[in-house]
Amino acid sequence: MVELVGSVNLDTIRAAHERIRPHIHRTSVLTNSWLNDACRASLFFKCENFQKVGAFKSRGATNAVFTLDDEIARGGVATHSSGNHGAAVARAAKLRGIPAHIVMPSNSAKVKIRAVQSYGAQVVFCEPTEKAREIKCAEVINQTGAVLIHSFENEHVITGQGTAAMELLEDISGLDVIMCPVGGGGLLAGTAIAAKSMRPQIKVIAVEPQNADDAAQSFRAGRRLVTEKKFTIADGLRTNIGEPNFAIVQQYVDDIVIVSEEAIVLAMRTIWETMKIVIEPSAAVPYAAIAERISDVERKRVGIILTGGNVDLDALPWSSSRDR
Minimum gap (Å) between residue 314 Cβ and its own copies: 7
Tell which residue, 49, 67, 69, has the closest CA to residue 58.
Answer: 49
Minimum gap (Å) between residue 116 Cβ and its own copies: 15
Say if residues 176 and 205 touch (Cβ distance below 8 Å). no
Nearer to its own copies, 69 or 314 (CB): 314
Nearer to its own copies, 197 or 282 (CB): 282
Residues 126, 310: Cα–Cα separation, whole Å? 22
Residues 34, 279: Cα–Cα separation, whole Å? 18
Minimum gap (Å) between residue 62 Cβ and its own copies: 15
Nearer to its own copies, 185 or 317 (CB): 317
Q: Compute the CA torsion angle 243, 281, 61, 171 (nearest 10 deg).
A: -100
Minimum gap (Å) between residue 172 Cβ and its own copies: 16
Which value, in Å, is the radius of gyration of the alpha carbons in the chain? Answer: 18
Say if residues 67 and 19 touch (Cβ distance below 8 Å). yes
Nearer to its own copies, 18 or 37 (CB): 37
98, amino acid identity: I
Nearer to its own copies, 18 or 314 (CB): 314
Minimum gap (Å) between residue 319 Cβ and its own copies: 5
Contacting residues toward its own copies, per CB under 8 A: 28, 30, 47, 49-50, 54, 269, 272-273, 275-279, 309, 313-314, 316, 318-319, 322
Q: What angle do CA 97, 103, 106 make, to 5 degrees?
A: 135
Minimum gap (Å) between residue 46 Cβ and its own copies: 13
**Where does residue 194 rank: exposed (0-12), middle (13-18), buried (19+ CB within 10 A)?**
buried
Residues 245, 247: Cα–Cα separation, whole Å? 5
Nearer to its own copies, 134 or 171 (CB): 171
